[in-house]
């Protein structure tokens, strides 16, 4: 079975999320207030797009538009893994469409 191709809106959100994550994000031990502000903004962004996230002692997970990704490091890491998954599946769908 072929991998599910992401919608155009999902790819556009992946690009927006990537831009957000590429902005400066200080470690919590350097600037706790800014770190917490950026984390809250990331959580809002996920929820605004109808996604879900979970963070617990085992790691972090994001589920959005039919794609799920995890990370043991940080919610931002799970988001980066989600972006990679969406990007690779969009490229695979594009290649499959080009060869058809």
* 77: in domain: yes
Strand ranges for the chain from DSSP E:
52-56, 59-64, 67-71
Q: Structurally, how many domains does the chain consist of?
A: 1
* 25: in domain: yes
Expressed as residue numbers, the domain containing 82 is 8-95
CA separation (Å) from 84 to 6, 11, 15, 30? 12, 10, 10, 28
Q: pLDDT digit string (tens) for 9-40?
A: 999 999 999 999 999 888 889 999 999 999 99
Inter-residue contact 74 to 63 (CB < 8 Å):
no
Longest CA span, the chain? 52
* 3: in domain: no
- pTM for the full model? 0.88
* 2: in domain: no
* 71: in domain: yes
* 1: in domain: no
Give pLDDT, residue 1.
41
């Amino acid at each position: 079975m072929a991998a599910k191709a992401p919608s155009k809106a999902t790819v556009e959100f992946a690009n927006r999320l990537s831009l957000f994550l590429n902005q400066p994000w200080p470690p919590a031990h350097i600037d706790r207030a800014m770190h917490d502000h950026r984390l809250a903004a990331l959580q809002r962004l996920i929820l605004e797009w109808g996604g879900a996230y979970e963070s617990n002692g085992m790691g972090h997970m994001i589920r959005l538009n039919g794609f799920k990704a995890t990370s043991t490091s940080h919610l931002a890491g799970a988001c980066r893994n989600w972006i990679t998954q969406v990007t690779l599946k969009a490229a695979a769908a594009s290649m499959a469409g080009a060869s058809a």
